[in-house]
Amino acid sequence: MPSTTCGGDYLDRFMLLGTQIGDHALFPVYLTLIVLAATFAVTRATGDVPNQGQKLALSWLGTLSILCVAYLLDSAFLTWAKHWFDFPIVYGGAWVNVSKINYLGNNSTRMAE
C-alpha cells in the first residue's frame, strides 16, 4: 500500500533502519568497534605532551566504563518499566503480555499474578 505523504515510504524505511541499528543485541559489536578505535587512537598518540598516550587511554577507559554501566542500567530500567506499565515483553521472538499469561494444569486455568 503506497504512502499518502511525500517520502513516507522512505521515512518508514529509515525509521526501521534506526530500529535495527539500535537493537540491544548489537551492543557487543558496537563495543568491539569502539575498543578497536580506542586501541588505534592510543597506539597512534604522539605529541609533545608527556604521557599523552596514558591520558588518552584513561579517557577511553572512562568512556567505555560509562557506556557499559549505562547499558546495564538501561536494560534494568526498561525491564522494570515494561512490567510497571504492563507493556508486552518479547520471549523467544513472541510478544507476551505478562499479566495475561494463562497457566494450564489439572484441566483448569488461572490468571498470572
The length of the chain in residues reads 113
In sequence order, the 6+-apart residues with CB closer than 8 A to the CB of 10 are: none
- The predicted-structure confidence for 28-56, as pLDDT tens digits, reads as follows 999 999 999 999 988 888 767 778 888 88
Residue 109 banded pLDDT, cuts 50, 70, 90: very low
- In whole angstroms, give the CA distance from residue 99 to residue 87: 9
**DSSP summary character for residue 85:** T
The predicted model scores a pTM of 0.59
The domain ranges of the chain are 25-111
